[in-house]
């Protein structure tokens, strides 16, 4: 079982190192296949682990394996250790499985880019980092993975480094995640100060003062929010779409951005001792899913629309994990990985076919030329909106239901948000759909469309899309909470759903009904506006501008953090560093030299002056002696 986990972890790293060392001595395709194989090997390892775990008793499904002591000081030490338990097993499967498909996809997508090797080295490195994150056997190692995925996300967002916008987006993503890392680190410092350890066990069974607990939880939540682009740390995600589309699919949809959810599930004992903070997490999710959904309504870049929907879906997961229904959150994470990766990859097909065009206003009627893409996208869209029998339906509804299960006033607020979110999802998703696929191809499309040897894309691209379309359809059947819930049971030893968050069947039913109706309503409205044009979009210029400016978060941060920092620094340099710090020494030197020339003046060259000094000196000494004797 541990063998599988090590294999799973190290295979992608090996791929990275191999590609880096070979450098330009191997053809591009070779690099691509090295990466792909390594990730699929990792998937094999994950499956191996899973199968072994299957054969064990639920109680004994968790195992820790240590390679060596990574960091040690005094009585604090953190090993380079992996933890395999149901939770990490699931994540390993998702990461390596979906990851493998996406890497395969990018063979076609990146074909012809002259720095392909670098791309594949990076992406393999990402998979490694992500696996380290989910397998990390203690908080420190988890933080390491946490940082490394941020790093690889930086590398991949800025992959096309001649584009200033890409470089800027990459930096922004990294810095915001660094902020999250910092808050997590601070949380860890508190733990170390109390328990002298960062092991899961040591810190999950200890009871700290409620302040400490809350601070720790807040720190973790900060990291989670930054990584998962939850309000207020969400602004980097849309910009991250500067990266290649497979990157968006893998990192910014399927895996990395959902790490926040994993973190909450993994460290749920801490959160449960700080229940308030946990509910704040839920609230954040609720807020984010609404805000993101609203912003998505006005975006015109196909990838940004999907990006905002990602934010909103992660909002759902936070909601679920926050209220205590970890399994439901994780389940949505799973299905979301399928259909969101699918959506991105179909979008990628479209972009690829249109030579990099991403503005949906130019894409009308693409479906006529790309039927496969069209249908796959439809599957993803329906799954996203949560229309039965597609996967989203099963996972999303149970989350909203758990909110209802709380029964408290905020529980109901969450519930309403969930329903409203479902409506928005339907609206923006099908806005996208109606704008892009149906109808006669627009002149722009006709002009720019080019197929790949008569197909909509290279087989390496089409196969993964197909597979994911299948998964997005059937993936949800794994569990329908009212009737069967193997997934929840599987996770129970690692992350037991809280009793308060376990919905009754009735709650499940009417919640499902509500969400489906809301979703359908959204779809209908989209149809009416963008397909039939029977309803006009209300002008509401203020609201439109607000949404187009994403509620002015960027402007806000610019004004509150960046500009003041720059002003402060320039001020320091002009007013303090240059005049004071750098100048003091020279000034003192000048003074000394001035003194020197003063002393020099008494050296008149006149003999009598010299004698005078001698005489005066003698007289002085005599006088002093006569007085002092």
Range 145-164, binding other proteins (CB under 8 A) = 145-148, 150-151, 154, 158, 161-164
| CB 622, min distance to other proteins, A | 4
30 binds other proteins (CB under 8 A): no
Residue 591 binds other proteins (CB under 8 A): no
Tell me: does residue 275 bind other proteins (CB under 8 A): no
Closest approach, Cβ 48 to other proteins, in A, equals 25
CA distance 173 to 241: 11
Asked if 283 contacts 220 with a C-beta cutoff of 8 angstroms, the reply is no
Burial label, 264 (beta-carbon count in 10 A; 0-12, 13-18, 19+): buried
Task: Tell me how far apart the alpha carbons of residues 336 and 97 are, in angstroms, rounded to a whole number.
Answer: 14
Sign of the CA dihedral with 346 first, then 349, 353, and 359 last:
positive
| Cβ proximity to other proteins, 474 vs 580, nearer residue | 580
Q: Which of 55, 57, 209, 592 binds other proteins (CB under 8 A)?
A: 592
**Beta strand spans in 22-62 (E):** none
Interface map 524-563 toward other proteins (x if CB under 8 A): ----------------------------------------
Residue 25 is a binding residue for other proteins (CB under 8 A) = no
CB of 223 to other proteins, least distance (A): 11
Interatomic CA distance for residues 461 and 32, integer angstroms: 13
Give the range of 139-147, 387-395, 400-408, 542-550 binding other proteins by CB under 8 A: 139-147
Q: Tokens 């129970």 — which residue?
A: 492
Segment interacting with other proteins (CB under 8 A) among 41-49, 62-70, 455-463, 508-516: 62-70
Residue 268 Cα distances to 325, 431, 579, angstroms: 10, 37, 53
Site string for other proteins, 96-135 (x = CB under 8 A): ----------------------x-----------------
Helix, coil or strand: residue 618: helix
Provide the Cα torsion 593, 599, 601, 606; round to 10°. -140
Question: How far apart are CB 573 and other proteins at their closest, in Å?
Answer: 6
Taking a C-beta distance cutoff of 8 angstroms, is the pair 31, 3 a contact?
no
Q: How many helices (H) and strands (E) does the chain have?
A: 28, 2
Closest C-alpha to 124, from 255, 26, 32:
32
Partners of 69 in the beta sheet? 79
Among positions 369-408, residues that touch other proteins (CB under 8 A) are: none
Tokens 């997961």 correspond to 317
355 binds other proteins (CB under 8 A): no
Indicate which single residue of 69, 211, 276, 504 sits in contact with other proteins (rule: CB under 8 A). Answer: 69
Binding window for other proteins (CB under 8 A); candidates: 17-25, 304-312, 365-373, 509-517: 17-25
Q: Which positions from 599 through 628 interact with other proteins, judged by CB under 8 A? A: 599-600, 602-626, 628
Q: Does 569 interact with other proteins (rule: CB under 8 A)?
A: yes
Q: How far apart are CA 149 and CA 387, in angstroms?
A: 33
Q: Does 18 engage in binding with other proteins (CB under 8 A)?
A: no
Among 6, 33, 48, 70, binds other proteins (CB under 8 A): 70
Q: Which residue, 166 or 385, has its beta carbon nearer to other proteins?
A: 166
The only residue of 3, 573, 575, 579 in contact with other proteins, by rule CB under 8 A = 573
Nearest residue (CB) to other proteins, 14 versus 438: 14
| Residues in contact with 139: Cβ distance below 8 Å, sequence separation at least 6, in sequence order | 188, 191, 198, 199, 200, 203, 267
- Binding-site member from 16, 81, 153, 183 for other proteins (CB under 8 A): 183
> Phi and psi dihedrals of 65, rounded to 5?
-130, 135
Name which position in 1, 7, 26, 185 contacts other proteins (CB under 8 A). Answer: 185
Phi, psi angle pair for 131, to nearest 5°? -65, -40
Least spacing, CB of residue 203 vs other proteins, in Å: 14
Report how far residue 598's alpha carbon sits from residue 593's, in angstroms, rounded to the nearest whole number. Answer: 9
């Amino acid at each position: 079982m541990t063998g599988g986990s090590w294999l799973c972890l190290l295979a992608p790293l090996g791929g990275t190192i191999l590609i880096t060392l070979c450098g330009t001595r191997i053809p591009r395709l070779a690099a691509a296949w090295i990466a792909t194989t390594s990730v699929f090997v990792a998937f094999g390892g994950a499956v191996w682990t899973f199968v072994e775990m299957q054969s064990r008793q639920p109680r004994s499904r968790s195992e820790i394996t240590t390679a060596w002591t990574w960091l040690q000081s005094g009585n604090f030490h953190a090993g380079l250790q992996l933890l395999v338990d149901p939770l990490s097993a699931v994540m390993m499967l998702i990461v390596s499985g979906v990851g493998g498909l996406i890497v395969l996809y990018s063979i076609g997508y990146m074909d012809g880019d002259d720095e392909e090797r670098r791309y594949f080295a990076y992406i393999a490195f990402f998979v490694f980092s992500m696996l380290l994150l989910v397998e990390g056997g203690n908080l420190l190692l988890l933080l390491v993975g946490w940082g490394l995925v941020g790093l690889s996300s930086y590398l991949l967002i800025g992959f096309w480094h001649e584009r200033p916008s890409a470089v800027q987006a990459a930096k922004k993503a990294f810095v915001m995640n660094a902020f999250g890392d910092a808050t997590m680190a601070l949380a860890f410092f508190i733990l170390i100060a109390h328990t002298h350890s960062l092991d899961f066990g040591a810190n999950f069974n200890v009871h700290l003062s409620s302040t400490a607990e809350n601070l720790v939880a807040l720190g973790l939540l900060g990291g989670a929010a930054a990584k998962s682009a939850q309000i207020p740390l969400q602004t980097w995600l849309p910009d991250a779409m500067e990266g290649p589309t497979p990157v968006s699919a893998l990192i910014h949809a399927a895996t990395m951005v959902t790490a926040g959810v994993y973190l909450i599930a993994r460290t749920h004992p801490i959160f449960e001792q700080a229940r308030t903070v946990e509910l704040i997490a839920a609230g954040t999710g609720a807020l984010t899913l609404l805000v993101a959904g609203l912003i998505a309504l006005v975006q015109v870049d196909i990838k940004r629309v999907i990006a905002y929907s990602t934010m909103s879906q992660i909002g759902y997961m936070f909601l679920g994990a926050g209220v205590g229904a970890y399994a439901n959150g994780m389940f949505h994470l799973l299905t979301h990985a399928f259909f969101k990766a699918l959506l991105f990859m179909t979008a990628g097909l479209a972009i690829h076919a249109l030579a990099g065009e991403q503005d949906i206003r130019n894409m009308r009627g693409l479906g006529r030329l790309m039927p496969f893409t069209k249908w796959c996208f439809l599957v993803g869209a329906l799954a996203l909106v949560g229309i039965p029998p597609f996967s989203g339906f099963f996972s999303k509804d149970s989350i909203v239901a758990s909110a209802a299960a709380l029964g408290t006033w905020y529980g109901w607020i969450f519930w309403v948000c969930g329903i409203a979110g479902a409506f928005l999802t339907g609206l923006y998703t099908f806005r996208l759909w109606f704008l892009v696929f149906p109808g006669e191809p627009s002149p722009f499309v006709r002009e720019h469309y080019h197929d790949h040897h008569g197909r909509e894309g290279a087989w390496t691209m089409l196969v993964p899309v197909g597979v994911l379309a299948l998964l997005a359809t059937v993936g949800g059947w794994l569990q329908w909470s009212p009737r069967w819930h193997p997934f929840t049971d599987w996770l129970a030893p690692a992350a037991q759903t809280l009793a308060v968050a376990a919905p009754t069947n009735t709650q499940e039913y009417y919640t499902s009904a509500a969400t489906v109706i809301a979703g359908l309503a959204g779809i209908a409205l989209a149809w009416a506006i963008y397909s039939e044009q029977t309803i006009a979009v209300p002008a509401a210029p203020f609201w439109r501008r607000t949404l187009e400016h994403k509620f002015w978060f960027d402007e806000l941060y610019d004004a509150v953090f960046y500009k003041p920092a720059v002003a402060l620094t320039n001020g320091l340099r002009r007013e303090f560093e240059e005049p004071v710090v750098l100048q003091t020494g020279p000034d003192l030197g000048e003074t000394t030299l001035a003194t020197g020339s003063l002393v020099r003046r008494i050296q008149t060259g006149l003999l009598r002056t010299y004698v005078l000094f001698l005489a005066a000196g003698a007289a002085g000494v005599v006088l002093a002696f006569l007085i002092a004797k």
